[in-house]
Amino acid sequence: MLSDLPLTIGSLFRVFRLRIFLTWGMILGETALMALIPLFIGLAIDDLLTGGRTAFWQLAGIMALLIALSVVRRAYDTRIYGAIRVELGKAQVERGSGQEVSTLNARIAMGREMVDFLEETLPEAIAAGVQLVISVIVLSFFSPHLALVAGGATLAMIALYALFHRRFYTLNAAINQRSEQQVALLERRNLRAMSAHFLRLRRLEVRLSDREALLYGGIFVILLGMILGNLRIATALPEVTAGTLFSVVSYSWEYVESALALPITLQSWTRLSEIMARINQDALI
């Protein structure tokens, strides 16, 4: 199925697009239902305080539908992405006949990260994007200033990640290079060489982790600043109710959770960019 195509995220998507679209459709449905819950909690609070029950039962219905859709989607995902891993592994073995076993073994493991990206990271990013848009729209209904603060936080996060991108790529390339050499080193049964290998790998991973810590520390500062700013704006709204205040705070927090998927996705794509270049460099396509 992948014999005449480069082994990339785009190729996997083109070959398996119908099955991927189906699972993504279910993810979007889950996300839309999840995004509605804080709004209906706020409506239910106000409704219950005045003796009503309509919003309460609407909230219960949304939760029941969300549970059913989530169970079906997870069962479907396991089967679909398992089949994609099989096809990708077969294609890598066919193209890797001239490679060292150590290199081929490492690249097969790296290739599985591409499927992991399609199964986990990208759907989470899509869901987070939908939830982020919904959060901004809902916040704008309460006050345009709430939405502007959220939009400014997003731009600040993108700008911050751009400062780390190149270094992430370089460090991932070095880690992948070490991984390709590991099986060959193990075959030599040389404890000193393996110890040196593990120490180099550890240093690379520590350097990558340190930069990730700096990045996410900066991102959390931006997002917490957004939460505090929106809280100040919300409490100053005219005739604000307990339900309205709860919804504003909830959607601001949902925005934070959704926005965190952005740097995670960008970081995963940086790593996969290096992996795709690596596993295709010797392929005859």
- In CATH, what number is assigned to the domain containing residue 150? 1.20.1560.10
Q: Which CA distances in Å does 72 have to 22, 44, 177?
A: 12, 28, 39
pLDDT of residue 282: 60
Let me know if residue 33 belongs to a domain.
yes
In a domain, 285, yes or no: no
Domain enclosing residue 86, as ranges: 9-280
Q: What is the pLDDT along the chain (285 residues), one digit of tens a residue?
A: 666 777 888 888 888 888 888 988 888 888 788 877 877 887 888 777 877 778 788 888 888 888 888 888 888 888 888 888 888 888 878 877 777 777 777 888 888 888 888 888 888 888 788 778 888 888 888 888 888 888 888 889 889 998 998 899 999 888 888 887 777 777 777 778 778 888 888 899 899 999 989 998 998 899 888 888 888 888 887 777 777 777 788 888 888 888 888 888 888 888 888 888 888 876 543
Enclosing H/E stretch for 260: none
Q: What pLDDT shows up at residue 206?
A: 92
Specify the number of domains making up the chain.
1
For the entire predicted model, the pTM comes to: 0.70
Closest CA to 17 of 1, 36, 39: 1
In a domain, 4, yes or no: no
Determine the pLDDT at residue 210. 92
Say if 142 falls within a structural domain.
yes
| Contacts for 270 with CB less than 8 Å, ≥ 6 apart | 165, 168, 169, 172
- Look at residue 3 and tell me if it is in a domain: no
The reply to whether 195 falls in a domain is yes
Give pLDDT, residue 1.
66
| 116 within domain boundaries | yes
CA distances from 130 to 32, 37, 160, 253 (A): 7, 14, 22, 15
CA angle 66, 70, 71 (to 5 degrees): 120
In a domain, 16, yes or no: yes
